[in-house]
Amino acid sequence: MTGATVTRIRTMARFLDAVNFPGNSNPLGTPDPTAEFKRQIYVIDRKAAENREIVEFELAGAIDMAGVRAPKRQCT
């Protein structure tokens, strides 16, 4: 999975759909599926740990990868 892209989407609890709460009712506010913070995009850099129950990956920013060439510059 090294090199795969991961997108983190964050929002506030008051904007979640009602199906995420007991009784299918959001007690915190009105659902709004379009309300979200700026999306954060990461690339899986390496596998940090693994056991029978979990696998832990280390993420890097999309342009924070060693050896990646930006226009006319090398990132190290």
pLDDT at 67: 61
Alpha-carbon distances, residue 47 vs 6, 50, 59, 66, 76 (angstroms): 14, 8, 9, 16, 20
Interatomic CA distance for residues 46 and 32, integer angstroms: 35
pLDDT in tens, 11-52: 999 999 989 899 888 899 888 989 999 999 998 988 999 999
Pairing mode, strands 73-74 and 55-61: unpaired
pLDDT at 71: 64
> What does pTM read for this prediction?
0.64
